[in-house]
Amino acid sequence: MKVLLLSIAALSAATAIGATALASDAAPAASPPAAVPAPVVAPEATKDPNARVCKTTPVIGTRVPSRVCMTRAEWEQRSRQDKQDLESAQRSGLATCGTKPCV
């Protein structure tokens, strides 16, 4: 997600610079060049990992969502663990009789 947001920001900055360059070609030579925008810093990199963050999550079987509060570091750890569990389940589903006994 971070990569997607950074690439969109870079693309919009490049488009803005290109549009400014085209506008400056039509403008008189006496006008100063447009300022280059500052590089985009990922907001998660500057946030406190010990800050408490609450998220609303859906619960299967009810219409009432659940509110879960954890620190940013705990959310990151949970995200990594969920990704590892998903990849492990996907890999085990691809096993054949050559690598595991057939049942």
Residue 98 lies in a domain: no
Identify the domain containing residue 63 by its residue range.
47-93
Question: H or E segment at 25?
Answer: helix 2-26
**In terms of pLDDT, which residue wins out, 81 or 95?**
81
Residue 62 lies in a domain: yes
Averaged confidence pLDDT in the chain: 76
- Structure tokens belonging to residue 37: 């925008």
Give the pTM: 0.46
61 — pLDDT class (breaks 50, 70, 90): very high
- How large is the average pLDDT for residues 41-59? 83
Same-domain status, 40 and 52: no
CA distances 13 to 6, 38, 44, Å, are 10, 10, 20
Same-domain status, 20 and 60: no
**Structural domain tally of the chain?**
2
Q: Is the pLDDT of residue 87 over 70?
A: yes
Same-domain status, 20 and 39: yes
CA separation for the pair 45, 61 (Å, rounded): 36
Residue 63 lies in a domain: yes
Residue 83 lies in a domain: yes
Same-domain status, 42 and 4: yes
